[in-house]
Amino acid sequence: MTAATGRERYVVHLTVAADDLPAARLLARAIGRSLAFLPELVLGETTVSEEGAPDAQHQVCCDRRLGGRRRCVRRVGHAGGYTS
């Protein structure tokens, strides 16, 4: 249950294969951008993991809090300012 709503929250996991970590991150960002119109999408919490090692997740987006409810959605480790 989430504290804010008092309702249960479910997370959807989609399996999409890529050859290496950079390709997986690129694919995850592309999928996230294509679904960004969905208010339920939390792009900043997008992660990728090696097949068979789901506990070793790699963050895809920076996700730094920008104030209010906004978060940075640029790639992890980006240089410069932050983007909502």
Local structure of 32: helix, strand or coil: helix
pLDDT tens for each residue of 7-63: 888 888 888 899 999 999 999 989 988 988 888 888 778 888 888 876 788 888 777
How many distinct structural domains can be found in the chain?
Answer: 1
- The whole-angstrom separation of Cα 30 and Cα 36 is 10
Neighbours of 20 (CB within 10 A): 9
Question: What is the Cα 23 distance to its own chain's centre?
Answer: 15
Higher pLDDT, 40 or 81: 40
Residue 78 sits in which domain range?
A: 1-84
> Phi-psi category of 54—alpha, beta or left, where left has phi over 0 and alpha has psi -120 to 50?
alpha
For residue 83, is pLDDT > 70? no
Q: Which residue, chain included where needed, has tokens 């479910």? A: 10
Q: Which residue, chain included where needed, has tokens 């999409």? A: 16
